Structure 1
Amino acid sequence: MINDPHAKLRDQVLETVLNGPGESDRALRNAAAADSGVPADLQTLIDKIHRHAYKVTDEDIARAQTKYGDDQMFEIVVSASLGASRRRLFAGLKALGEA
């Protein structure tokens, strides 16, 4: 794999977002980042963020907000987004390393 000069900073950000203090449960933030083990009421939203982020609608967020507050939703969406971007980054770095 290619050397990533930003790995340490990126890992610190990820650790802080997923395991730092917040309004949402740490386990939920980690599940959202991993796209695995999220509650059923969030599965569609988290799946969209990981696979088709451009398809997330206001209605998707509004549905989730019936159970989760604004701060919780922010943390959950950011966690899922960071997890999805990390997966893509590693796939890209792996492809470059194999080229």
Structure 2
Amino acid sequence: MITYQQIDGTSAGTKGYQEADTNKRGKRWHSPTAVKNFKPSDKATGEKHSDGQGLYLHVKPAGKYWRMSYRFAGKQKLLSLGVYPAVSLAKLASGG
């Protein structure tokens, strides 16, 4: 379930509001500490922790991978942004 919030910070469940910075479980993950503490699950395919706007951290037993999911010309695409910790959350936010 995606939650939305108005610009003034009050919550709303309707379309047209800015998406809140929580994942599907309602927990914030946009901190370096949270990213560092994600552990791989028992699934061989790993687990995806999304920001709700295409960016996600794919946590697998082999490592943590930054990915960006998007659409181009009506087709789903996937962009690999790097491996954590070589590419940190701060580096992604700064664009470089």
- For the aligned pair, the TM-score class normalised by the smaller chain equals under 0.3
Indicate the structure with greater helix content. 1
TM-score (norm: length of structure 2): 0.25
TM-score (norm: length of structure 1): 0.25
Q: Relative contact order (alpha carbons < 8 A, sep ≥ 6): 1 or 2 greater?
A: 1
Indicate the structure with greater strand content. 2
